[in-house]
Homo-oligomer: A and B are copies of this chain.
Amino acid sequence: MKTVVVRNITRADSNAVGTLGAVGVATAHEAFGRFGLMKTYMRPIYPGAQIAGPAVTVLAQPGDNWMLHVAVEQCQKGDVLVVGCTADNTDGMFGELLATSLRARGVKGLIIDAGCRDVKALQEMDFPVWSKAISAKGTVKATLGAVNVPVVCAGVNVEPGDVIVADDDGVVVIPKKDAVETAQKAQKRHDDEDGKRKQLESGVLGLDMYKMREPLEKAGLRYVDNPEDV
Contacts and interface: CB of A to CB of B under 8 A. Distances in A.
A138 B62 CA distance: 12
A168 interface: yes
18 contacts: A1-B32, A2-B230, A3-B219, A3-B220, A6-B225, A8-B226, A26-B117, A26-B136, A40-B133, A72-B205, A97-B193, A97-B206, A98-B206, A100-B197, A118-B169, A144-B220, A152-B155, A152-B157
B3 A221 contact: yes
Interface string A38-70: 011001001110100000000000110010011
Contacts of A143: 140, 219
A230 B4 contact: yes
Given A90-B40, A155-B152, A206-B97, A4 B221 contact: yes
State the copy count for this chain. 6
Contact of A86 (B35, B46, B230): B35
Contact of A72 (B30, B155, B207): B207
Interface of A: 1-9, 25-26, 29-30, 32-37, 39-40, 43, 46-48, 50, 62-63, 66, 69-70, 72-73, 86-88, 90-92, 95-98, 100-101, 103-105, 115, 117-120, 123, 133-138, 140-144, 148-150, 152, 155-157, 160, 167-170, 172, 193, 196-197, 200-203, 205-207, 210, 212, 216, 219-227, 229-230
A136 B73 CA distance: 32
Given A6-B229, A216-B144, A136 B101 contact: no
A2 B223 CA distance: 11
A91 B97 contact: no
A125 to B, nearest CB: 10
